[in-house]
Structure 1
Amino acid sequence: MPVVTLYRRLQGRLPSWEPAPRAALIRADAGPLQAQRETLDVVCALLTEANVPYFCVRPLPNRPPVIAVPEDDRTRAFAALAAGGHPLFAARQPYGRQGARARQADAGRMRPVRRAAALLGDAKVVRLAMYFASPSRTLMLGPENGCDLEFWAREGDELVAPRPNPACDRVPADGPDVDGGEELFTPLACAARRARAYRTRPEFVRRLLDDIDFPIDAVYTWVDGGDPAWRARRDQAERDEALRTGAPLSEMATTEARFTSRDELRYSLRSLLMYAPWINRIWIVTDGQTPSWLDTTHPMVAVVDHKEIFTDPSMLPVFNSHAIETQLHHIDGLSEHFLYFNDDFFLGRPLPPRTFFEGNGITRFFPSTVHVPFGVPETEESPVHAAGMNNRRILENLTGRTITQKLKHVPYALRRSLMYELEGRFAAEFAATARSRFRTSRDISVVSSLAHYYGYLSGRAVPGTVDYTYVDLSLPKTPAKLRRMLARRRHDVFCLNDTAPTTVDQDALLARFLDAYFPTPAPFER
């Protein structure tokens, strides 16, 4: 087969940390959603061509798409798949309790459909998969992004499901077919940008209690610390601030690491589009800067200048993320529900919207094991800890409850209306922080702490869980950790940061890692 031959010619070029996979189709837009769509489309097309009855079923969370076929048509379904002759099509039984022959088919050797069908016995569920790879061969997609073929048993006038699903366990055998949007069957798809519809039954198109069918935007704050014009503004502001206060600014508020750009934004956006393609729009908040590689004409992305969102633009420029974050909800056109990212946040594997939101709009937050220190903010060296102390004071005065934990450095799920409510209720604190050009011990940290605990105490936010890791780029053990992360891809989210200046070699290592982990360009990259 040409694809198999092409892949074999390219073996040996894989990085040492990536295991050599079986033959794969090369796709410039390789990603979990692409793999699920393409596999689902192939299966549906083959079944349709062979006149095999089928309908798509809504999957359980964290499951791939599901296609149901009546048990009576099992043999015809396998024949249709085998007749398709797809060179990279394979099948296995993913949930094996159907006998030794079925388990043999699932013993780690993906078999072509024509050979596997005879070994699957009476398996009620079969995983169908195609293998895909990015042009760099550093991203491989296989069975985890395939689709499941379920065989529904006939009982009288009904078809009965072989396992649970979110909607129903039986449908009329001769019930009508309807079309359902792909977001019902592929949870990574964005309902607002519906690209496909699939054959299903009426029972599976109803709006369920926990469906997340509202738009979710993403907001980034970004700065290019190497821009001479920006540096001149910052240096002047530092001199003005030192003259006004009669004392130098805190080193932790002005450290170069806080403003250094290593092209993380490009790859953070790639991670977002690869692993959360359900995001609606992306807003990049900057101080008069635009990444050179960004196509600002693309309808999915917009650059927002600080002047557009600050209530009092006369206080600009500011170089304090706490100040900028108090103004994010002023973005014109921002959706009610949104995620806030720093450019050093990266998604590490597919995450559905319910990772961050409930179907009723409630947000999730992710507490850390790190504590907010007790003490007086004015004596705290870390502006981050001081802001946590100030958040604690606000909530103690309001509710009598004390916060003790920081939050993980992961995307923050927020509601625009709650941010406006906070700004109205604590106007003095918002205004004081917005006026702080550099971080001070008087700041509050709204989007990374206060909004979530306020939401929890008012019944609009709940704790969640996420598999997260933090990487300090300056540590000697970091190269080995990055190799493991790339090989395993098991973290939901990770943060790449530094607590000390990095070397040229460390920066080059980061660039190689990011390009290998996120090789698929976003559609708005020039």
Structure 2
Amino acid sequence: MQGEIMPVITLYRQLHERLPSRETTPRSALIREDASPVQAQRETLDVVCSLLSAAKVRFFCVRPMPGHPPVVAVPLRERKRALRVLAASGKPLVAARLPYGKRARGLTPEEAVGRLRPLKRAATLLNDAWAVRVGLYFASPSRTLTLGPEYGCDLEFWAKEKSMLVAPRANVSCDAVPAKGEKVEGGEELFNPLISAGHSVRAYPTRPEFTRRLVDDIDFPIDAVYTWVDNRDPAWRSRRDQALAGAAEIGEPNEMATTEARFTSRDELRFSLRSLLMHAPWINRIWIVTDGQTPPWLDTSHPMVRVVDHKEIFSDPSVLPVFNSHAIESQLHHIDGLAEHFLYLNDDFFLGRPLVPRTFFEANGITRFFPSLAHVPFGAPELEESPVHAAGMNNRRMLEDLSGRTLTQKLKHVPYALRRSLMFELEERFCDAFEATTRSRFRTSSDISVVSSLAHYYGYLNGKAVPGTIEYTYVDLSLRKTPAKLRRMLARRKHDAFCLNDTAPTTPDQDALFGKFLEAYFPTPAPFELR
């Protein structure tokens, strides 16, 4: 039966049944308060480079292929010494042989890793290897997050041919460098795809060939924007109830636009932000758009995050207060200081594993969007019960009038990649539709949905957006099967992104389960959380 759920203690046990624990986390795992993929990659690369440098083993860092961890190149003739130095370091390093050349073609980075062994026991077995994965195990204090050699670094052994050192595997820059070439310093953003230039705090020895700005490098800042509401705030509830009373006098809005589930806060924002910082640490600044509210756990003095009131972004503040997400979303591009390229997220969107900027943007600024298999129904918007469907129908009519093309697919509930300039262009072109939507205090059948549909299809028709792919799932918290699904998600961590939503009011037990899941999946606090 929908909405029913077993006692939370039973669910808690089920949820943790397949979690990393003190027993299943590797004994050699290093506990880190800031455990995250970028922390693991940074620390492993630092360990390898510092050990090689201290032993005076020659090396330089190489720009890796997309999806691969950082790469350290060592001349082939120093292979045995390099492996011996790392093995004798006392660090709990593990290693595995990697294929190279034709044997590496078609393999994912995960498939390419052979059997992992402690390096102090395996060093001699790798003396003929051309490439080796080196890693450490890290864990959060809760043991619910374990990071292994997938976030390590690769050692490559470059053979000398005449006056050149030749790479054993492909990289994004070149096949060979001069054996006696110049050594320079390169920022970590060159070698770690999770780091942006704005967040680079380290430099590593490299060769000039790997410091060039490539045609597909994404080096523009990417911001993130959230909309957030806390329905537990008495002042907000008073404004909402007064607006509802006024709307009822003129026969609107419908029940789907005002259901309590639309405004419920379960602290999702805190964990969505953790997911963003953990899996997209290249984000530049974060903007949280609210109706005069501030999360009590948020350090508003932190330079990375800023709370923006609705009054700051609405072209006509006289329409406020509004409780219509379509209206609020249509004004996001008015945020003063917002970067040209940004991601828009609801607070029930979560990133499930590391994603690089090219998931959402091309280096030339083109955005990616992610079509869903769900369709926007055909029919008349004014007869449609769902305001979401009605907005999609209105978007379709506008694009049909403009281009003769018909929109049929919704988009997945994942971060929406947007360009500020395109939003201004849309507002100028469809000014009447924008204005009507901003004046709707609650969702109505005349709304348009700008950031979750219209901007992306309009961008596609104008050569400014392209479809992309993303591993995604949607979870309805009110369903009976949800506990088992959350347990699988936590154990496998295979989704790039997921949405945790509800189509009906949830019970206290369901809410408790939800909180336990988020704490386990995202145990590392963001730097702007008050402790």
Normalising by structure 2, what TM-score? Answer: 0.93
1:144 equivalent to 2:150? Answer yes
Q: Which residue of 1 aligns with 2:5?
A: none
Match of residue 35 from structure 2: 30
| 8 A contact 2:75–2:158 mirrored in 1 | yes
- Once residues 432 and 233 of structure 2 are traced to their aligned partners in structure 1, the CA distance between those partners, rounded to angstroms, is 33
In 1, Cα distance between the equivalents of 2:65 and 2:215? Answer: 14
Q: Write out aligned runs for 1:70-85 (5 A).
A: 70-85=75-90
Matched, 1:440 2:410: no
- Corresponding letter in the other structure for 2:476: D
Query: Residue by residue, what CA displacement relative to the aligned partner does 1:349-368 show, whole Å, maximum 9, x if unpaired?
Result: 00000000001110000000
| Code of the aligned partner of 1:177 | K
1:340 aligns with 2:344: yes
In structure 1, runs of 5+ residues without a counterpart are 1-11, 99-104
Distance in 2, Cα, partners of 1:73 & 1:119: 15
CA distance in 2, matches of 1:111, 1:80: 16
1:277 matched to 2:278: no
Deviation at 1:106, TM superposition (A): 6.7
- Secondary structure class of the residue paired with 1:159: strand
Moved over 2 A (4+): 94-98, 105-108
Rounded to whole Å, the distance in 2 between the matches of 1:200 and 1:413 is: 33
Query: How far did residue 107 of structure 1 move?
Result: 5.8
- What is the CA deviation profile of residues 407-463 of structure 1, one whole-angstrom value per residue up to 9, with x for unaligned ones? 001000000000001001111111110111000000000000000001000000000
| Aligned residue in 2 for 1:385 | 389
What secondary structure, in the 3-state scheme, does the structure 2 residue paired with 1:219 have?
A: strand
Name the structure 1 match of 2:185: 179
Measured after TM superposition, the shift of residue 401 of structure 1 is: 0.6
C-alpha distance in 2 between matches for 1:29 and 1:431: 45
Among 405, 414, 418, the residue aligned to 1:414:
418
Deviation at 1:193, TM superposition (A): 2.1
Q: Which residue of 1 aligns with 2:16?
A: 15
Q: Paired residue for 1:423?
A: 427
Q: Distance in 2 between matches of 1:465 and 1:459?
A: 18
> What is the distance in 1 between the residues matched to 2:120 and 2:18?
33
Distance across 1 between alignment mates of 2:88 and 2:17: 37
SS of residue paired to 1:285: strand
| 1:90-169 equivalent positions in 2, closer than 5 A | 90-95=94-99, 108=115, 110-169=116-175
On the 8 A contact 2:290/2:308 being kept in 1, the answer is: yes
With over 3 angstroms needed to count, the CA separation of the structure-2 counterparts of 1:106 and 1:369, relative to structure 1, is closer
Tell me which of 201, 204, 217 is aligned to 2:207: 201
Question: Separation in 1 of the partners of 2:146 and 2:203?
Answer: 26
Distance (whole Å) between structure 2 residues aligned to residue 469 and residue 523 of structure 1: 28
The one of 55, 60, 65 equivalent to 1:60 is 65
Assess if the C-alpha contact under 8 Å between 2:486 and 2:517 holds in 1: yes
| Residues 21-43 of structure 1: CA deviation (Å, up to 9, x unaligned) | 21210000000000000000000
Return the match for 1:231 from 234, 237, 257.
Answer: 237
Structure 1 residue 15: deviation in Å?
3.4
| TM-score (norm: length of structure 1) | 0.94
The superposition leaves residues 376-424 of structure 1 with CA deviations (integer Å, 9 ceiling, x where unpaired) of 1110110000000100111111111111100001000000000001001
Mean Cα deviation higher: 282-291 or 114-123: 114-123
User: In structure 1, how many angstroms separate the alpha carbons of the residues matched to 2:150 and 2:425?
Assistant: 42
Alignment of 1:236-247 (within 5 A): 236-243=242-249, 245=250, 247=251
d(CA) in 2 for partners of 1:351 and 1:200? 25
Is 1:358 paired with 2:386? no
Could you tell me which residue of structure 1 aligns to residue 333 of structure 2? 329
SS at match of 2:88: helix
Q: Distance in 2 between matches of 1:425 and 1:107?
A: 56
Counterpart pick for 2:353 among 341, 349, 353: 349
Distance 1:254 1:167 in 2: 54
The residue identity in structure 2 corresponding to 1:305 is: D
Helix, strand or coil at the partner of 2:288:
strand
Query: Which amino acid in structure 1 is aligned with residue 211 of structure 2?
Result: V
Q: Secondary structure at the match of 2:209?
A: helix
Matched AA of 1:18: L
Give the whole-Å Cα distance in 2 for the aligned partners of 1:133 and 1:167: 34
**Cα offsets for 1:142-170 (capped at 9, x unmatched):** 01100000011111000111111111111
Q: By how many angstroms is 1:94 displaced?
A: 3.3
Shift in Å at residue 84 of structure 1? 1.6
2: CA distance, partners of 1:308 / 1:467? 35
For 1:320, the equivalent position in structure 2 comes to: 324
Residue 118 (structure 1) shift: 1.3
One of 192, 196, 203 as aligned partner of 2:198 = 192
**Residue type matched to 2:185 in 1?**
D
Q: Deviations over 1:332-364 (max 9, x none)?
A: 000000000000000000000000000111000
Q: Give the secondary structure class of the aligned counterpart of 1:509.
A: helix
| Contact 2:98–2:129 (8 Å) recurs in 1 | no
Letter paired with 2:147: L
Contact 2:80 2:127 in 1 (8 A): no
Matched, 1:486 2:487: no
Higher-RCO chain (CA-CA 8 Å, sequence separation at least 6): 2
Mark the CA change 1:500 to 1:297 in structure 2 (over 3 Å): closer, same or farther: same
* Partner SS state of residue 414, structure 1: strand
Residue in 1 that maps onto 2:9: none
Evaluate the alpha carbon distance shift between residue 374 and residue 106 of structure 1 in structure 2; reply closer, same or farther with a 3 A threshold. Answer: closer
The one-letter code of the counterpart of 1:168 is C
Q: Please identify, of 263-272 and 118-127, the stretch whose mean Cα deviation from structure 2 is larger.
A: 118-127
* Cα 1:260/1:158, change in 2 over 3 Å: same
Determine the structure 1 residue equivalent to 2:456.
452
- Return the alpha-carbon distance in structure 2 between the equivalents of residues 371 and 511 of structure 1: 31
Task: Tell me what 1:9 maps to.
Answer: none
CA distance in 1, matches of 2:379, 2:143: 52
Query: 1:80: Cα distance to partner?
Result: 1.6
The equivalent of 1:69 in structure 2 is 74
Q: Which residue of 1 aligns with 2:256?
A: 252
User: How far is the alpha carbon of 1:253 from its aligned partner?
Assistant: 0.4
CA shift for structure 1 position 121: 4.3
1:128 partner SS? strand
| Match 2:55 to one of 37, 44, 50 | 50
Unaligned runs of 5+ residues in structure 2 are: 1-12, 105-111
Which residue of 1 is the match for residue 295 of structure 2?
291
Cα distance, 1:258 vs structure 2: 0.4
Aligned-partner Cα distance in 2 for 1:248–1:202: 65
Pick one of 218, 225, 242 that aligns with 1:212: 218
Whether the 8 Å contact between 2:113 and 2:133 is mirrored in structure 1 is: no
Structure-2 separation of matches of 1:277 and 1:438:
35
Distance 2:307 2:252 in 1: 33
Please give the secondary structure, in 2, of the residue aligned with 1:428.
helix
**CA RMSD after TM alignment:** 1.4
Q: Does 1:476 align with 2:480?
A: yes
Aligned mates of 2:488, 2:37 — CA distance in 1: 20
